[in-house]
Structure 1
């Protein structure tokens, strides 16, 4: 299995980018970032409670925007313009989901996410459902931590049109239904607030929360696979495995780095005729990344958690050598 590290390098390499050059960061933001809410007062208020509809793309994106805005001061010691804020990975990834059509209704029973209703996020979308927890849990944990400047009972999310019991909608409900994941995100924010926080430790806490949230919600939405082609389902599974390895490697989820990595991801939903590495309307990089994800997932199945443990051990050894 000597070939495996080379594929890991391809995937990790897609997350690598030089910070040299004078870039206008606004061009790197997710679609509709400027138009999305950036403060709580931009949302509807009912009886002193902010009402957010996370099934509308700008409103869900706005939750990320508030997170980025309110935590900016804690990351300014690492770089200017909030570029090194580790929370950028979440909205930038969500922006790719939107632009690639992955938030639309895959069953096509409704117009949700399509031209006439393009801002709608479908509850039948596998991508949208997993992203819900990678948006709502970090957001509500931030509310609960006090870092967003409002009390825990001042925000409520609207439910989807179906499967309401699979989700949570406020701080108390999410703490009750997903206590361990909420605690992981709370640990991250506690360290964000710490004057002694370091970039590497922040990265560790972030990835711990991210991977825990992802792995503990994956099985909940396996019934969504029926709406997708075999190729897209395989990509969904391969991508979730790859995210775990990226997390173990603790790749920084900063704005420029994550934006550049998106160039290797499929620009549309895969259909039954797509066969990598020769998908004609994909770039060479996109075909290569798809094939790399496939290889990584296959080896993961063969080795179980052994290879991931090796990566984790190597990462810990690197950190210890830097400290000593």
Structure 2
């Protein structure tokens, strides 16, 4: 269908505009990356069990950091310094959510995530935080289950939030029970990752399959969170999920440099009712254009229902990238 390649080209092509390269790869790391746990022994241990509190920013970021560290050896053949590790997209997106205030309590009933309270607190009322919970816990626990972490599957437990505990899973066993197909897709990704014959583009395919499955499995559980935001932000949230489906179909390479440049087009703060793209004065032109396109995509989805009922087919046009793109910021 011609519709898919057109929107893939508009969205992903827009995100891939040429931008100045970084002076150092460490400049691209998400907020507080260096302060986050880098190994399992940095977490609390009880009865040989690693206890992680994913409702604290640094502890959840540590899950990503350990995942990047433990998978680095599998991406070394594609580029140095772990830059081509396609798992970078997860912590960078999480870091953007933190930097823009999207992990804080949107109801303002608590000080969770605010300077007046605890900046490291992640609110269970945040739509962004709840979906990201599964985009951190499921890939992390699947990596444990796949043997990449070097520990047994029953040696990690995640702490529950202060409420809505039944909406979440907390260890390998419970996540497999709650989301068997999605956990299997993450396991499939790691199985191919550990193969000496793995190809970069194939890994992208398996990663995006697991990523989109995670969203499909969990998004309906948090639709009530939309009411906590302005209509403008809630519309952006819905549009973002639609866009992810297209970005996934394009097999966008979620490497460090690509994802960092990609996120320069995303809103730098939570949207308010008065925000109308492409005329938001404190946004860059790039951010205004990207938000305008995302809103158009969301409006089309709402009016036609096409994107909600039919997955975008894979697109293997010129936007599909490979490891040869290392060092190319365009």
TM-score range, shorter chain: over 0.9
Indicate the residue corresponding to 1:44 in structure 2: 44
Cα deviation for residue 5 of structure 1 reads 5.8
- Structure 2: runs of 5+ lacking an equivalent: 321-330
Indicate the residue corresponding to 2:138 in structure 1: 137
CA distance in 1, matches of 2:187, 2:80: 25
Indicate the residue corresponding to 1:170 in structure 2: 171
Q: Quick check: 1:137–1:174 contact (8 Å CA) kept in 2?
A: yes
* CA shift in 2, pair 1:19/1:298, >3 Å: closer
CA distance in 2, matches of 1:100, 1:163: 24
SS in 1 for 2:282: coil
Q: Quick check: 2:146–2:187 contact (8 Å CA) kept in 1?
A: yes
Deviates most, 271-280 or 156-165: 271-280
CA distance in 2, matches of 1:67, 1:188: 13
Q: Quick check: 1:37–1:62 contact (8 Å CA) kept in 2?
A: yes
Q: Quick check: 2:100–2:270 contact (8 Å CA) kept in 1?
A: yes
Q: Quick check: 2:101–2:270 contact (8 Å CA) kept in 1?
A: yes
Cα deviation for residue 21 of structure 1 reads 5.7
SS in 2 for 1:156: strand
Does residue 154 of structure 1 match 2:137?
no
SS in 1 for 2:182: helix
Q: Normalized against structure 1, the TM-score is what?
A: 0.92
Cα deviation for residue 58 of structure 1 reads 0.5
Indicate the residue corresponding to 2:88 in structure 1: 88
Cα deviation for residue 318 of structure 1 reads 9.8
Indicate the residue corresponding to 2:285 in structure 1: 284
Indicate the residue corresponding to 1:34 in structure 2: 34
* 1:180-203 alpha-carbon deviations (Å, 9 max, x no partner): 110010000000011110001000
* CA shift in 2, pair 1:316/1:15, >3 Å: closer
- Structure 1: runs of 5+ lacking an equivalent: 320-324
**RMSD over aligned Cα atoms:** 2.4
* 1:302-324 alpha-carbon deviations (Å, 9 max, x no partner): 26159976x625428999xxxxx
Q: Quick check: 2:105–2:125 contact (8 Å CA) kept in 1?
A: yes
Indicate the residue corresponding to 1:199 in structure 2: 200
SS in 2 for 1:264: coil
Indicate the residue corresponding to 1:261 in structure 2: 262
Q: Quick check: 1:100–1:268 contact (8 Å CA) kept in 2?
A: yes
* CA shift in 2, pair 1:316/1:189, >3 Å: farther
* CA shift in 2, pair 1:144/1:314, >3 Å: closer
Indicate the residue corresponding to 2:110 in structure 1: 110
SS in 2 for 1:312: coil
SS in 2 for 1:50: strand
Q: Quick check: 2:249–2:314 contact (8 Å CA) kept in 1?
A: no
Indicate the residue corresponding to 1:187 in structure 2: 188
CA distance in 1, matches of 2:26, 2:289: 28
Q: Quick check: 2:242–2:307 contact (8 Å CA) kept in 1?
A: no
CA distance in 1, matches of 2:20, 2:285: 25
Does residue 304 of structure 1 match 2:306?
yes
SS in 2 for 1:89: helix
The structure with the largest helix share of the pair is 1
* 1:141-179 alpha-carbon deviations (Å, 9 max, x no partner): 000000011111111000000000000001111111111
Cα deviation for residue 277 of structure 1 reads 1.0
Cα deviation for residue 17 of structure 1 reads 6.1
Deviates most, 171-180 or 124-133: 171-180
Q: Quick check: 1:64–1:139 contact (8 Å CA) kept in 2?
A: yes
Q: Quick check: 1:7–1:295 contact (8 Å CA) kept in 2?
A: no
Cα deviation for residue 11 of structure 1 reads 1.9
* 1:89-129 alpha-carbon deviations (Å, 9 max, x no partner): 00000000000000000001100000030000000000000
CA distance in 2, matches of 1:22, 1:111: 35
* CA shift in 2, pair 1:106/1:305, >3 Å: closer
* CA shift in 2, pair 1:200/1:307, >3 Å: farther
Q: Normalized against structure 2, the TM-score is what?
A: 0.91
Indicate the residue corresponding to 2:213 in structure 1: 212
Cα deviation for residue 6 of structure 1 reads 5.7
Does residue 78 of structure 1 match 2:78?
yes
